[in-house]
Structure 1
Amino acid sequence: MTAPIFTVCAASPAVTTLLGTGPTRLYPHGEAPEGTAKPYVVWQVVSGSPINYLNCVPDTDRYGLQVDVYADTASSAEAVWMALRKAIAQQAYITGFGIDARDKDTHNYRKGFDVAWLVSL
């Protein structure tokens, strides 16, 4: 099992207003189809570990995720970033803010954050 980022975000009307439905443009890293309409979001697991106990086996895993928004404008990237942040923060912990820049080659705006997500087994 992994962090339920897609399920949580796809259930948020604020997120789907910006990222659509059928499909919701929220993809595991490397799986956004070529030519995907912007804005879109990719996420990836960058760390993880079980929550260990001395007297029993782990019943919870911790996933560290990196979430990145790609958009045509800074304001669009910001709107998606904020909608995702609000949806995810109800289920997990926002632990840091990442890239906030414009790509020199594609001219896409990119804005991201990191998440710690505890998943019960």
Structure 2
Amino acid sequence: MFAPVEEVLSTPSVLAIVGPSGIWGSGIAPADQPAPYVVWQTVADDPYVQLSGAPEDDLDEVQIDVYAAVEAQSKELARAVRAALDAAGVVNAVMFAAREQNTKLFRISFRADFIHRRQ
């Protein structure tokens, strides 16, 4: 529960693209948030069950979405996000890339598996 997503993504490379207030939890950004930005949400939270006592670790499956007005910038941000996840040892995969119908923003979506100590 409560994977350290923002801490992992707050690298100089990511922040250089989105700025200090460009990473949002709960899967949504404020309506007035200019692109580019990153949103994330926990999709599943599974405890590591053990016979010797209560679980000490969790496996959180997190969806991370990057948004940008220009396709090239969405790819640059996706590369920075993936590098941040890789550097932290977080298993990740790109799920899809698309252009949103309503906002016309380019979106690249990741699945990231955070294995971490319970907080």
Superposed CA deviations along residues 53-86 of structure 1, whole A, max 9, x for unmatched, are 1222211011000000111011111111110111
Unaligned runs of 5+ in 2: none
RMSD: 1.3
Say if 1:72 and 1:108, in contact at 8 Å, map to a contact too: yes
Cα shift readout 1:26-53 (whole Å, capped 9, x = no counterpart): 1013541112111011100001110011
- Residue aligning to 2:105: 108
8 Å CA contact 2:14–2:80 kept in 1: the answer is yes
Unaligned runs of 5+ in 1: none
Contact 2:44 / 2:60 at 8 angstroms: preserved in 1?
Answer: yes
Matches within 5 A, 1:7-22: 7-10=7-10, 12-21=11-20
- What is the one-letter code of the residue matched to 1:93? V
CA distance in 1 between counterparts of 2:69 and 2:27 reads: 19
- Secondary structure class of the residue paired with 2:67: strand
AA matched with 2:6: F
| Counterpart selection for 1:93 from 91, 94, 119 | 91
| Code of the aligned partner of 2:106 | Y
Query: Which consecutive aligned stretches of 4+ in structure 1 deviate over 2 angstroms post-superposition?
Result: none
Judged with a 3 Å threshold, the aligned counterparts in structure 2 of structure 1 residues 120 and 30 are, in CA distance, closer, same or farther, namely closer
Pair 1:26–1:89, CA change in 2 (3 A): same
TM normalised by structure 1 equals 0.89
Distance (Å, rounded) in 1 between the aligned partners of 2:27 and 2:116 = 23
Q: Is the 8 A contact 1:19 1:39 kept in 2?
A: yes
User: Which amino acid in structure 1 is aligned with residue 18 of structure 2?
Assistant: L
Identity of aligned residues (%): 29
